[in-house]
Structure 1
């Protein structure tokens, strides 16, 4: 690669390597990072740092000051790091947690000199150490690419950080899969880093496991597999066989997306997970281009990203193929950059008026990777299901009929419970609830619904509390059971049952068809 095509940091690195005695003699030492052998992730991060305008010689991380120290991630991560700190108290290692934006939440170390040195470069609680702010560093690169990362001394972008080696591992919420932050271990560059990454990975894994154990007893989210679907009628993809005749909020979102797609614009559907973002885009694509195939790609685990890109990106720009990339806010930075380049190339090759749809989904526009955000021409917000209660029963009846292959009766009590639920998991949760109920009964009644549908409590319940709530709901929804009978079976007084109903915000509509 020509020196002129390298970022300034890479050129300085090359000059340093050339100045080493072994390299001048033409016999580089084993393991030296020669310019031709620089990791692609590192060079890409250096380039982003340069594009962000990060200075090479001195860094100025932004001070936020306000820390979110009441999250489950912080609670569990701090406990895990405190235990690890007891083991490493005599070692020159600093242990810290950051949030998903690189904001340092806490820091532990028994080495006073290391802490003083870290203070000088502002690697301390309250300071943001994201790649955009201070350039290539361990925790910033781990968050950007969402994979375990070691950045050694000379690999930092800012020269003032070259006296340190950092190992960082992202921590994902075990239920939702959302990036919560990362565990970062920092030591002097003169210290061995062989075990640093292993320790960080262990701490991150233990943090995630502890978060799961202290959650509501839900099962962990399956690992991302990077599914790619190439669809031809009548096979199913997002939006196939879904309802189009819904309320005005949904109809307006689909219409706005359709108008943008018809004009050849790139559309981003944003909103809460499970709200139907991909379905809305697929319906809009199908409405404007009914004969096109729709290829939907969901993000993979970060280590599978290269194979995933090669699997579906050859379809970009092919006639009669619409592309929908879901959850782009979960893509590593380098993957987003490759997709951007491929999309731009495909659009350049396309004739005016013949550009096939390219759409993405994300939780919000701000969450879209910096490489992809400039491509988005139109942002469509898909409202959460709780904001469009008029869609609940049409969707529930549709799901029930698909599960059973015929129309199903729904009692008035069940209908009241379904429409009164806040649906934190949105349409995806509704589909799971109704599908499970429809497979157990011919008439969907309130007793077939899970306890969390009938409970309005938004606070996190302990496993014992969740079990107690579920048992109360199971007993009091049994047909013909009086409150006195329910109290006797539960081993409580009637007054205690009423108090528990209020405590868990349980509302059970009266049964009836």
Structure 2
């Protein structure tokens, strides 16, 4: 395997035997007969039996898994028949940033037989650039063009399909494509992740003729993907959704402070209590429960509270999703605990897991469940395993099949009665004692929409509690006291903050506040309405 291909593969996922080893073994009693190997691999093996030359005789585990999925999806080995959508979202930050990056790269590759493309997270081709008209005509014949979906489940194994499925840079050479009609191309693609949330936005895909394949192709795709992410971060004003959570973290949820992140309050709104009770009922019935809701809304907390009620003596492990290079250590950290008695596991944000990792998790959970029921693990035969995800449809198919129950958690903006109690818990944790909130401050906190949910509220109040006691409305940050409907530029943010600062000075009249910020009184009122500032 070349150096470029090694970067695309995840450590520890290469197959031990090669296809040639399987073929040889098949002559004397194969351990992996042809009827177990996916059809695309059997075709590859048949060519190897015929003595045809290949650049390499072994196949990565990721590629084999993709071939297997393609066969299960019912993708044709011969025909390339992608779905035409015709609807392309050109208004997103991802599209705008990616288009600019590819345009710059295209200027340096205009004379090369390479097509540069941007796709969304579903494999829909958003744009295409190339200076080679013959390559563009050929790509049109296989519908690798804007408006067509080239997801793995539609056309089988391709560079962009594999990059999106595994959320890892991928290089698929000529004969490695699932469909024979794509075997005259080599594709390199790299996923683009949102700089703040880590959510998959799409991919950068570079396609060329198979005979002009270059080991630099994947490096170029990775570089373009990284530049797209950097440009997205810059254009969002550097706002990336708060401090990123360590990826691949596995931690134990201890008692009595049983729930990480959002607090340990139990007596909250009826919506919250219903979610916890629903999760508890599912766990007592031995179900695999998925907690669905926006990031930061308290999904892990709800599951931890339900686990404490259903299994008060169990230890609880919570695992965040790992980076691609850390998958094997991540799996080895917590999956052995599945077979141990009195252990419950929460896997967070499974929608961010690559497909092959989700398959590994599913297989290990199912094995552990069999052991639990046979009495090898928990004497009660119970295996509490729960997951969190933003939307049910984003759960990887492998894990979706084992989910037995869905528990929705409402975002904080739909639970305004929880804001005051949670804010007091945040202040208590920051100062080690209770900190008062004035009625005006509590009203302002309750009126805010909290796009970052409980996690954002906790961060804001902890910071305030370290500086003020009691906390009054004048101490709140400007973004809490306004509710603008569009993302502000840096200049607009500065102006808004100055207006809020002036308005919160009780010694100033409106005319004096307008004079302080350098605006007329009428303009000040228009700015207050524009930025959604709440006037005291």
Do the structures match in fold with TM over 0.5? yes
Q: TM-score, normalised by structure 1?
A: 0.94
Per the TM alignment, residue 108 of structure 1 is displaced from its structure 2 partner at its CA by: 1.0
Match of 1:33 in 2: 56
Per the TM alignment, residue 224 of structure 1 is displaced from its structure 2 partner at its CA by: 4.5
Match of 1:309 in 2: 331
d(CA) in 1 for partners of 2:153, 2:433: 54
Contact 1:239/1:282 (8 A) holds in 2: no
Aligned equivalent of 1:248, options 267, 270, 285: 270
Contact 2:259/2:300 (8 A) holds in 1: no
Match of 2:318 in 1: 296
Q: Does 1:398 align with 2:425?
A: yes
Contact 2:277/2:306 (8 A) holds in 1: yes
Match of 1:150 in 2: 171
Contact 1:237/1:294 (8 A) holds in 2: no
Runs of 5+ consecutive residues of structure 2 not aligned to the other structure = 1-31, 375-379
Match of 2:400 in 1: 373
Contact 2:86/2:148 (8 A) holds in 1: yes
Per the TM alignment, residue 337 of structure 1 is displaced from its structure 2 partner at its CA by: 0.3
Q: Does 1:113 align with 2:113?
A: no
Aligned equivalent of 1:284, options 306, 318, 335: 306
d(CA) in 2 for partners of 1:21, 1:249: 64
Indicate the RMSD between aligned Cα atoms, in angstroms: 1.7
- What whole-Å deviation, never above 9, does each CA across 1:20-39 have from its counterpart, x for those lacking one? 356xxxxxx7xx322xx210
For 1:150, what is the secondary structure of its paired residue?
A: strand
Contact 2:259/2:305 (8 A) holds in 1: no
d(CA) in 1 for partners of 2:437, 2:252: 36
d(CA) in 2 for partners of 1:375, 1:145: 20
Q: TM-score, normalised by structure 2?
A: 0.90
Match of 1:74 in 2: 95
d(CA) in 2 for partners of 1:92, 1:483: 64
d(CA) in 2 for partners of 1:414, 1:240: 20
CA separation of 1:75 and 1:267: change in aligned 2, threshold 3 A: same
Runs of 5+ consecutive residues of structure 1 not aligned to the other structure = 23-28
Contact 2:276/2:302 (8 A) holds in 1: yes
Match of 1:17 in 2: 48
Contact 1:147/1:303 (8 A) holds in 2: no
* Bigger shift: residues 143-152 or 490-499: 490-499
Match of 2:28 in 1: none
Q: Report matched runs for 1:381-460 at 5 Å.
A: 381-460=408-487
For 1:424, what is the secondary structure of its paired residue?
A: coil
Match of 1:183 in 2: 204
Contact 2:427/2:462 (8 A) holds in 1: yes
Aligned equivalent of 2:494, options 462, 467, 472: 467
d(CA) in 2 for partners of 1:172, 1:166: 20
Q: Does 1:229 align with 2:251?
A: yes
Contact 2:316/2:345 (8 A) holds in 1: yes
* Bigger shift: residues 176-185 or 211-220: 211-220
d(CA) in 2 for partners of 1:223, 1:13: 42
d(CA) in 1 for partners of 2:155, 2:505: 60
Contact 1:333/1:371 (8 A) holds in 2: yes
d(CA) in 1 for partners of 2:259, 2:314: 12
d(CA) in 2 for partners of 1:41, 1:334: 7
Match of 1:488 in 2: 515
CA separation of 1:241 and 1:388: change in aligned 2, threshold 3 A: closer
d(CA) in 1 for partners of 2:456, 2:46: 56
Match of 2:12 in 1: none
d(CA) in 2 for partners of 1:235, 1:393: 19
* Bigger shift: residues 444-453 or 279-288: 444-453
Per the TM alignment, residue 234 of structure 1 is displaced from its structure 2 partner at its CA by: 4.8
Match of 1:93 in 2: 114
Q: Does 1:84 align with 2:115?
A: no
For 2:84, what is the secondary structure of its paired residue?
A: coil
Q: Does 1:204 align with 2:225?
A: yes
Contact 2:448/2:481 (8 A) holds in 1: yes
Contact 2:464/2:475 (8 A) holds in 1: yes
d(CA) in 2 for partners of 1:425, 1:3: 51
d(CA) in 2 for partners of 1:45, 1:303: 19
